[in-house]
Structure 1
């Protein structure tokens, strides 16, 4: 049997004990020697403490100041430099200018307006000095007498402050470097900084800087904002009582807050008046009268005006801070002048157009959410919203069941009104870019920046719907497809990787007729686009979208991507459409053209980024030409009929499943503009009529372009260059076709039909029989005539042979024979103005469909 491990351990215990004892015995002599050395030293030190000599006392007394001086010298490098202090008082915030010279914003560190000392009431100066630092004009930053007195009071158990106005200013200017902890280190750093301030500034400058930087609660910094906030006057209009009240707050803003603690504020005000009497700034008789008067507040929070482009300014501030850090500038004090790409006139037009049309949509939303099925607990969706609030959770935590909690909240009118408003507020975003240089010309992130600072241009990620389809068609044209290529409009079932079946649908049943790619994008046919996506491949489409400008959002390369199921930002989509308008070359959007100092010297110049080829010029021009049909006769025709825009424009509408998101992007040779409309909570939607992109987002863009064209900020005569130069393949194909015609005998071809894009689509006809041929002639016959058959066959054979010889992929589509104009459903010639009820034939075909077994995810707004 194996030995017991316990027995084995026990066998070694005596050996280990002996080893430890031996080691200790060897250490004892060394310890004894060390003790013999230390004990005499300790004895001598103790003897000197008990019997101090005069020399020892003097050395001990001199060592303490030496240590303090050494400690101060060590802390000096950790305090602000003289250069920093010189800059701190110069409050010159960065000024943001539009391309046409208008002020868009000023980047201030806080809600403050600097006023010179001459424009501050002398009562405020007298009250401040009498209360906070009556020997202000006598010291050089530190009042040693007051500091010593405060120290004695503190040691006796009654804590008292001894900081001068200059020391308080040091804390206000450099809260991070100095800190506010009640430690000796903080007091020394504060004193060092105060000495530096006194060396740089005069007493008048110190008073001015202090009064313009001290905080007064409610986001009011400086005496000017404090005077406006609490009394509704300017700093130079403050009377004695008002000045004493504000001075009293300096001891403790929250504790002596006159809004919520009026009794404390009144008592503290009278204390300040007493100090003014003590130091000769007020008579006893005046004090007796004034101290009996009540506080008379005229309180109103002061909000910084958002400016004409607040969302743009917010994004620009982040960029400018990073630039300033890299180049050793301060955006709050160096007086930088930043010239941006924004055109203030276009910005104003965009803001007006967005506000006008979203207000109309808000009226529709309010009507839909009123009554018994609106914002009431009986509405299942609204009840869900109620359950998601903190008030509901608090009620449940207090012991109420679900029904009682909902009933309790339903009885709170303020709660119900606020929840309804927050959930049913229509939101929108708008962006305009000059495609020739990537300059951002207009940026509107929401209906009202004050109510909704969330940016729906760069922060919100939403499903783009059919506005994503041009990437599918662009990839197809790059692979050799032609606008006249056809697919059969038939039911489509696509098996996904997980085994689900995706069934894209349209607003009309399948016609089982061939539909050209030109018609498919003009009328936003989902079934045709899904088939084209299968032919091109989702990976190629995703790569093209990224190359054209969708570079920040994740694109899932799945079949449903063709209908825009991957959430993206409006900025990405408008940037990508700018690539289409720029002959297939991507230009990174830019916000700034130059940065200057306060003297006008150019510090940095920002030119357009180098163009990146994303799509070949031939494919891009083909895509642009087909997208003209969207506004000429397709889903975006209201641009022509309702807004009367006659320029050379192209665009695309977009509507996501359930009318959650409405999109429209319009391209002009000089300007590309896009809009998104929806709700922050994707579960809230407009109805099937108003929720469509052609009726929610298109009017914003159409109104904007109409204003821009009328003001001549956009040239109505500008034209896209969509002439496609025949390549080597086309030249070779024509030669091969002529040779084959000669070889097989030339036959007279049927007369060509008028171009599809110049004819209005005919109304839908009865479904074709099951035996409809794959391709019909443009004249509408079900099959080519006998006379024309050899010619058509030779053309098809010539094209196939040419592609094989040139090493190109086969034509995308069922056939390369001349396409037929498939009967299309009717569309309204004009997108109607806001009206109470739609008619049945005004349905938008833009909404992507899905089978019950597969539902693309609905995106919610995202961002920080």
Structure 2
């Protein structure tokens, strides 16, 4: 008995010491001696929480292109907009004693230990504590971070802030602030954004089953994502309805009816995918993050004004041109492969390989202990989802494997347009759709250039050897020695040689391979690679004779930059997309100017314009459709490009004040047309450029198009600055070749 009393005495003393220690720790965090724990927000901050100010992107013609904003920069709703079913679902699920506590649920905290002893996990954070975390982001703010920074300190700070919030606001105001700030997944922050995102509704229109789904997401927006895990989301929704029955907000009969309903998502895309030039804006965001880091500023908070060179009038017609032609081309592609998939013979396991890279597959791997047979069975099960089509996003029932197959069969494209005189980037279309295909085929995608590389070879040969557009070469077979290998003897695309002498203008217009091979033999591959770098090609190029036919992988961005040299009298201009950055008060923080350098002489540049005009004007020219079919007026030139087995289609077009490139192809190189009917640059890519220029020509108010190319005066003899511009101020490349597909 004596020992028992002694044990009880020690337990009481231990409990008292623990209680005193907790009180002491609370006091220490509150007092914050020597900034050990970081300060707490003041009463003024608590009573007047300020939303961060979004940074705004402006186009060159004064339009708002988009905004960079934090989750707290949102459109709030008022309390009267909140339907009772939403409030009841939230309280029943997240904080059943919300109206009884003062910010911290002491009963909940005390109940944690007994729950853990019987193997049940439970949380004790109140809605007010969660609001405190949402509003002040203690983990990320240096102002509130001390020397000792850990989870216990964060939790204690949440308690203090929650108590202050309860003193400063009514319960209804706290509920409203919570619902206006919390994350619901899929880049939706706040209840208004979530209602629009998942159901296309205003908040006050939410039904019981819809409100329950949104509240259910709060436990784990990604884990319960209704787009990717509909069954999991439905089960979570039904749990919320059960909680509402438990706390007498619903009858059992009402819950049963609501639980039987399907999810009925009406998913609406917004955010980064909405608006013009989303791929450009995504790249701009990366650039601005680096700029802000260097200048100790915050992109999502400081209300910067970012002025760009993009022209919304040209961007709109560029996006319309892509949609018009690619929707048509996709129909032809589907007809071409109606009975099979393009990759069946060359890579029959492609879909399965890509499936293993998806987050869905990885989650199934964890859930099913890596059992591949069971995983693939799950991947074959049909589930509700949205897919991209040229008729819009379509709600359908499809298996994850079939969704990958559908995505693979969609042709991709990129369009990039810049003013060669100023370097200003005017239009940037990175792919057919940003939400589904964020991979950027302007800056990221590297593909073989095909015959669009030939003008670079022609320019170097003319300048180095003194040739002109009228210089003649025989269209005849040629064999070029290859060190350590067999001689290289290329064929023309039609497999024939005329054995007649033709001018360089005719040769480039008709894209005659034998002439390109002869020019390469004159100057050598190493010299051509060095020259391509002078012209703005940063991608590594292998110095082989076959490079004259465009075997090197390059980006659309690089090719447009190189062609701009011809139009700009031999001067290379660094592509420029930023004009200036101002603070929220309009003070200029930085202005931007482009770099430039003379890389070929004016005479060579103008000769190249004449050669490129030949593609449109010469009999047999690969671009004659521009005038005869598309009725494009004014001074213009261009070059088509098609790579081996129609894997890539290119068109590079020039006018006096715009150089624009278009690429079209599949996500993987094995995805291509099986015939040359549409599997060539003149059919795949040229029409996009034509539709773009048709739209451009309607914008004379923007100064398009200029009338004539600039012809040099007299005998021009400009010494080229043969400097390697490989690392000189160009936009950085993203190291990626193919898209990473994710279901």
- Give the alignment's TM-score, normalised by structure 2: 0.76
SS in structure 1 of the partner of residue 695 of structure 2: helix
Aligned: 1:426 with 2:411: yes
| Residue in structure 2 matched with residue 345 of structure 1 by the alignment | 313
SS in structure 1 of the partner of residue 417 of structure 2: strand
The CA deviation at 1:461 is 0.5
> 1:649-672 CA deviation, whole Å, 9 max, x = no partner?
222221222222111111112111
Q: Which structure has the larger Rg? A: 1
> 1:442-477 CA deviation, whole Å, 9 max, x = no partner?
111222334432221111111111111121122123
Name which of structure 1's ranges 431-440 and 239-248 shifts more when overlaid on structure 2: 239-248
Matches within 5 A, 1:692-771: 692-712=680-700, 713-727=702-716
| Residue in structure 2 matched with residue 682 of structure 1 by the alignment | 669
| Residue in structure 1 matched with residue 571 of structure 2 by the alignment | 585
| Residue in structure 2 matched with residue 168 of structure 1 by the alignment | 130
Match of 2:521 among 493, 513, 534: 534
| Residue in structure 2 matched with residue 862 of structure 1 by the alignment | 738
> 1:4-53 CA deviation, whole Å, 9 max, x = no partner?
xxxxxxxxxxxxxxxxxxxxxxxxxxxxxxxxxxxxxxxxxxxxx9x99x
Matches within 5 A, 1:5-404: 66=24, 69-70=27-28, 73=32, 82=41, 90-109=51-70, 113-118=74-79, 120-121=81-82, 123=84, 124-125=86-87, 128=90, 132=95, 134=97, 139=102, 142=104, 145-146=106-107, 149-150=110-111, 153=114, 160-172=122-134, 174=137, 177=140, 185-193=150-158, 195-196=160-161, 202-203=168-169, 206-217=174-185, 220-228=188-196, 233-238=201-206, 246-247=214-215, 250=218, 260=232, 265-266=237-238, 268-269=240-241, 271-272=243-244, 275=247, 294-295=258-259, 298-304=264-270, 305-371=273-339, 374-375=340-341, 380-381=345-346, 383=348, 385=350
Residues 209, 237 of structure 2: 8 Å contact kept: no
Matches within 5 A, 1:803-814: none
In the alignment, the residues of structure 2 paired with residue 343 and residue 503 of structure 1 have an alpha-carbon distance, to the nearest angstrom, of 46
In the alignment, the residues of structure 2 paired with residue 457 and residue 426 of structure 1 have an alpha-carbon distance, to the nearest angstrom, of 15
How many residues are aligned here?
655
> 1:358-399 CA deviation, whole Å, 9 max, x = no partner?
22222222222124xx3499x6347464675669x99xx999
| Residue in structure 1 matched with residue 580 of structure 2 by the alignment | 594
In the alignment, the residues of structure 1 paired with residue 496 and residue 155 of structure 2 have an alpha-carbon distance, to the nearest angstrom, of 79
Match of 1:669 among 656, 660, 664: 656
Name which of structure 1's ranges 614-623 and 146-155 shifts more when overlaid on structure 2: 146-155
1:430–1:80 Cα change, 3 Å: farther
In the alignment, the residues of structure 2 paired with residue 265 and residue 651 of structure 1 have an alpha-carbon distance, to the nearest angstrom, of 58
In the alignment, the residues of structure 2 paired with residue 117 and residue 424 of structure 1 have an alpha-carbon distance, to the nearest angstrom, of 46
In the alignment, the residues of structure 1 paired with residue 19 and residue 194 of structure 2 have an alpha-carbon distance, to the nearest angstrom, of 49
Match of 1:625 among 607, 610, 619: 610
Name which of structure 1's ranges 192-201 and 616-625 shifts more when overlaid on structure 2: 192-201
In the alignment, the residues of structure 1 paired with residue 651 and residue 497 of structure 2 have an alpha-carbon distance, to the nearest angstrom, of 26
1:546–1:200 Cα change, 3 Å: farther
Aligned: 1:522 with 2:509: yes
In the alignment, the residues of structure 2 paired with residue 716 and residue 240 of structure 1 have an alpha-carbon distance, to the nearest angstrom, of 57
Aligned: 1:569 with 2:555: yes
1:199–1:77 Cα change, 3 Å: farther
The CA deviation at 1:79 is 5.5
Residues 494, 503 of structure 1: 8 Å contact kept: yes
Residues 665, 674 of structure 1: 8 Å contact kept: yes
Residues 437, 608 of structure 1: 8 Å contact kept: no
Match of 1:437 among 407, 422, 447: 422
The CA deviation at 1:673 is 0.9
In the alignment, the residues of structure 2 paired with residue 450 and residue 722 of structure 1 have an alpha-carbon distance, to the nearest angstrom, of 44
| Residue in structure 2 matched with residue 818 of structure 1 by the alignment | none
1:390–1:346 Cα change, 3 Å: closer
In the alignment, the residues of structure 2 paired with residue 608 and residue 420 of structure 1 have an alpha-carbon distance, to the nearest angstrom, of 45
Aligned: 1:614 with 2:599: yes
1:667–1:194 Cα change, 3 Å: farther
In the alignment, the residues of structure 2 paired with residue 266 and residue 384 of structure 1 have an alpha-carbon distance, to the nearest angstrom, of 39
Residues 465, 656 of structure 1: 8 Å contact kept: yes
Residues 436, 670 of structure 1: 8 Å contact kept: yes
1:151–1:862 Cα change, 3 Å: closer
1:582–1:81 Cα change, 3 Å: farther
In the alignment, the residues of structure 2 paired with residue 66 and residue 607 of structure 1 have an alpha-carbon distance, to the nearest angstrom, of 56
Residues 138, 154 of structure 2: 8 Å contact kept: no
1:60–1:218 Cα change, 3 Å: closer
In the alignment, the residues of structure 2 paired with residue 103 and residue 614 of structure 1 have an alpha-carbon distance, to the nearest angstrom, of 36
In the alignment, the residues of structure 2 paired with residue 194 and residue 61 of structure 1 have an alpha-carbon distance, to the nearest angstrom, of 17
1:242–1:479 Cα change, 3 Å: closer
The CA deviation at 1:492 is 0.8
| Residue in structure 2 matched with residue 770 of structure 1 by the alignment | none
| Residue in structure 2 matched with residue 556 of structure 1 by the alignment | 542
Residues 606, 711 of structure 2: 8 Å contact kept: yes
> 1:510-531 CA deviation, whole Å, 9 max, x = no partner?
3444333333223222222222
1:616–1:381 Cα change, 3 Å: same
The CA deviation at 1:569 is 0.5
SS in structure 2 of the partner of residue 495 of structure 1: coil
Which consecutive residues of structure 1, in runs of 5 or more, have no partner in the other structure?
1-48, 730-805, 807-858
1:724–1:546 Cα change, 3 Å: farther
1:193–1:724 Cα change, 3 Å: farther
| Residue in structure 2 matched with residue 476 of structure 1 by the alignment | 461
1:154–1:558 Cα change, 3 Å: same
In the alignment, the residues of structure 2 paired with residue 637 and residue 653 of structure 1 have an alpha-carbon distance, to the nearest angstrom, of 11
1:494–1:161 Cα change, 3 Å: same
1:288–1:556 Cα change, 3 Å: closer
In the alignment, the residues of structure 2 paired with residue 399 and residue 441 of structure 1 have an alpha-carbon distance, to the nearest angstrom, of 48
In the alignment, the residues of structure 2 paired with residue 510 and residue 288 of structure 1 have an alpha-carbon distance, to the nearest angstrom, of 84
Residues 505, 611 of structure 2: 8 Å contact kept: yes
> 1:759-783 CA deviation, whole Å, 9 max, x = no partner?
xxxxxxxxxxxxxxxxxxxxxxxxx
In the alignment, the residues of structure 2 paired with residue 58 and residue 679 of structure 1 have an alpha-carbon distance, to the nearest angstrom, of 71
Aligned: 1:462 with 2:451: no
SS in structure 2 of the partner of residue 615 of structure 1: coil
In the alignment, the residues of structure 1 paired with residue 239 and residue 626 of structure 2 have an alpha-carbon distance, to the nearest angstrom, of 67
Residues 675, 700 of structure 1: 8 Å contact kept: yes
SS in structure 2 of the partner of residue 515 of structure 1: strand
Residues 431, 438 of structure 2: 8 Å contact kept: yes
Which consecutive residues of structure 2, in runs of 5 or more, have no partner in the other structure?
1-6, 382-396, 720-734
1:156–1:490 Cα change, 3 Å: closer
In the alignment, the residues of structure 1 paired with residue 232 and residue 616 of structure 2 have an alpha-carbon distance, to the nearest angstrom, of 60
The CA deviation at 1:503 is 0.9
